[in-house]
Amino acid sequence: MNLVYLNGSYLTLEKARLPITDRGFTYGDGVFTTLKVSEGKPLFLEKHLTRLARDAAAVRLTVVPIGEIKAACIGLVSRLGMQSGVLKAVLTRGAGGRGLSTKNASGSTILVSASALPRPRPCLRAVTVPDERGTLAAHKTLNYLPNVLALRRAEEAGRDEAIFVRDGFLLEATISNLVGVVDGRLLTPPLGGRVLGGVIREVLLEEHVVFEGDLPAGTSGPLYCVNSVRGVETVVELDDRPVPTDPEPQDLLGEIITRRTRLGGFL
């Protein structure tokens, strides 16, 4: 997939260049979204772009060319003849001089790239990590180092995933929202300014099968990670404690995602 969209042009990876003063590189000053391509369609594209605009507004990015980003996503899929894979759309404040001030930023940088689907992770062994990320965790910004370090901590312990916990409740995994079974109901943690509002999470709530509710850190019910690219993944161990599994809720979540995808993935 040797093609990207960068600031108005489709370029090979070898020819795509960003200035070393781009604020996305120097300060993490930008936002992004990642979405799945299936049967030649960028799935839930409108929802992803709506969230991207919301996240951009949260970090005071005043120029948000959503129409261009949408066209770039569709155009890249078309030019690559892409039937399945992953798109990543990045929006930064552009190039700027030294220092934190945004006054001299040149304007937006738009980058859309494509990659293959990741290998599936059918069963996850996870560790909990204290959530010290602050309110930016509610937005998909380029400041992802806390998530990177949390996953590294899990991998150093020989585990697959890390789950953030605060005040005795599970919040989310490093790249996924959580859905757990509590008293027979499928619950996902409320956003509360600390949880990223994922697109698949939104879809499941719209179907009135999953509801917002707290997930205790010591939950004794089945637990799932849900993500636009990876779908539904089952957590089988949390902090060296086995987590009960049940294929029925997992199948239900998977069926909802599949059905909404078959509707075109744009809803």
Question: What pLDDT score was predicted for residue 267?
Answer: 41
Count of residues in the chain: 267
Instruction: Report CA-CA distances (Å) from 80 to 32, 75, 242.
Output: 21, 9, 43
pLDDT in tens, 80-92: 999 999 999 999 9
Question: What pLDDT score was predicted for residue 265?
Answer: 54
Question: What pLDDT score was predicted for residue 80?
Answer: 97
For residue 25, the Cα-to-chain-centroid distance in whole angstroms is 19
Q: How confident is the model at residue 239 (pLDDT cuts 50, 70, 90)?
A: very high
Give the chain's count of helices (H) and strands (E): 6, 16
Question: What pLDDT score was predicted for residue 228?
Answer: 94
Mean of pLDDT values over 93-100:
89
Closest C-alpha to 15, from 25, 24, 23, 5: 5
- What does the buried/exposed string (b/e) look like for 131-160 if buried means 16 or more CB atoms within 10 Å of the residue's CB? bebeebbbbbbbbbebbeebbeebeeeebb
CA distance 48 to 57: 14
Q: How confident is the model at residue 104 (pLDDT cuts 50, 70, 90)?
A: confident
Mean of pLDDT values over 7-16:
95
- Environment class of 52 (CB within 10 Å of its CB; exposed 0-12, middle 13-18, buried 19+): buried
Chain position carrying tokens 């489709």: 10
Question: What pLDDT score was predicted for residue 121?
Answer: 83
Mean of pLDDT values over 171-182:
97
Q: How confident is the model at residue 264 (pLDDT cuts 50, 70, 90)?
A: low
For residue 265, the Cα-to-chain-centroid distance in whole angstroms is 16
Q: Is the CA virtual torsion 136, 138, 141, 143 positive or negative?
A: positive
Q: Specify the amino acid at residue 161.
A: E
Q: How confident is the model at residue 39 (pLDDT cuts 50, 70, 90)?
A: very high
